[in-house]
Amino acid sequence: MLTESLIVLLPSLLLFSISATLTPGPNNILLAYSGANFGVKNTLAHIFGIRFGMTCIHIVMLLGLGTLFERFPQLHQLLTLLACSYMVYLAIKIVKSKNGQAKNQTQPMTFVQAALFQLINPKSWAMLLTLVTALTLPGNEYWSSAIFGIIVFNLATLPCSFFWVLIGCYMKRFLDNHTRLKQFNIVMAVLLLLTIPLILW
């Protein structure tokens, strides 16, 4: 049963969850790319992999392991380095991807790949750290607000993920030949690379 304090917390949770998830980031760029190249159905594993990976990190942070970043800043630096390196790899993979039924066609991200990607996605860590610290209640209501935060975050952000996939699907209408699809993939790769300076900053 929702307490008065949780009801008061709900607008802040919703506003933060939606605004943080709708803004461009590695997950959203990859979802738009996947929507344009593989469609909604083949991107479902990617979507739910993101949700599963972020929920696992969310729970780990709530259990107190998020303080590792504060105690060991080198861990944060390592995470950032891994994230940037992997995003460069993904950008190259996107540029080299082929449309149609080519033998070496790039496949959509799997559930496991999407979940594991959250481990090195700094935007995911930043969002979840805010949820764990600024959007939980102190004292006896900590765990009730924490669990409430997990539920609200997932319910609010799932439609946001589909929004980015649908953007990609909509763009596919204009990508009716190999050249345009290739150009779109290059733009997606460049946008993914442009998130790197934001991460480093």
Q: What do you get for the CA distance between the two ends of the chain, in Å?
A: 42
pLDDT tens readout for residues 15-38: 999 988 888 888 999 999 999 889
Mean pLDDT score, 92-121: 76
Is residue 157 within 8 A of residue 51, CB to CB? The reply is yes
Q: Read off φ and ψ for residue 70, nearest 5 degrees.
A: -75, -40
Burial of 174 (0-12, 13-18, 19+ CB in 10 A): exposed
Check residue 133 and give its pLDDT.
82
Check residue 100 and give its pLDDT.
44
Helix and strand totals (H; E) in the chain:
9, 0
pTM across the whole model: 0.79
Burial of 11 (0-12, 13-18, 19+ CB in 10 A): exposed
Distance CA 145, CA 184 (A): 42
Closest to 7 (Cα-Cα) out of 146, 145, 159: 145
Mean pLDDT score, 130-144: 85
Check residue 82 and give its pLDDT.
77
